[in-house]
Amino acid sequence: MQENDGFVDCYSERGDEMLHQASKSDLDGWIRDMRHGDRDALAKLYHATSGAVYGYALSIVKNRHDAEDVLHDCYVTLWDKAAEYRSQDKPMAWILTITRNLCLKLLRQPDTIPLEELSYIAAPSADPAEAATLRICMQVLSEQEREIVVLHAVAGLKHRQIAKLLGLKHATVMSKYRRALQKLKASF
């Protein structure tokens, strides 16, 4: 079976927003259009992928303000880098790589203040259950486990793709994912 981006499968199940319509070729097409200054294409790409980008950023930077910054910077970067994009059937992996790099860049900055108060990660208006879930994810999971879980559950990447993105062995990702889920199950 041909390995795909994983993105389509994930969101076709979720039916979230317009994600169910976004296929790998849609993403490719939008990025290609962005090269030519198509702002609509950027908007479409944003609507289709901002959930994954934000969720993944939040899992790394652990606070919503930084995640929001990364979300913003990510799409500005995507706009600027669209010309460099070469489709290898992995648009989502490309976007998430940019996201990750922005997060790591942010974390490397000396003036980044690690967030002490975990409740801060959730938006004030967030549903209490969402806030609790976020808190548990931040408390219970290690950095890498959290990244893996979010990449799978939020960004819809397959374990093999996550392994490639994070530079880990496939088996490592699978076992860490499973461990993480067990931890979460025990905590929820």
Positions in 93-122 near another protein (CB under 8 A): 117, 119, 122
- Residue closer to another protein by CB (options 21, 133) is 133
Window contacting another protein (CB under 8 A); options: 43-51, 89-97, 99-107: 43-51
Contact 62, 121 (CB under 8 A): yes
Minimum Å gap between C-beta 94 and another protein is 14
Rounded least distance, CB 41 to another protein, Å:
8
Nearer to another protein, 37 or 105 (CB): 37
- Tokens representing 153 are 């559950």
Q: Quick one: 21 or 77, whose CB is closer to another protein?
A: 77
Q: Which is nearer to another protein, 7 or 56 (CB)?
A: 56
- Residues within window 145-184 making contact with another protein, judged by CB under 8 A: 149-150, 152-154, 158-159, 169-172, 174-175, 177-179, 181-184
Residue with tokens 């899992």: 59
- Cβ proximity to another protein, 93 vs 121, nearer residue: 121
- Give the footprint of another protein on residues 23-42 (CB under 8 A): 29, 32-33, 35-42
* Alpha carbon distance 57, 51 (integer Å): 10
Minimum CB distance to another protein, residue 103 (Å): 14
Measured distance CA(152)–CA(127) in Å, rounded: 22
- Which residues, 6+ apart, have CB-to-CB distance to 48 below 8 Å? 11, 17, 18, 19, 21, 22, 26, 27, 30
Buried b / exposed e over 53-81, threshold 16 CB at 10 Å, is: bbbbbbbbbbbbebbebbbebbbebbbee
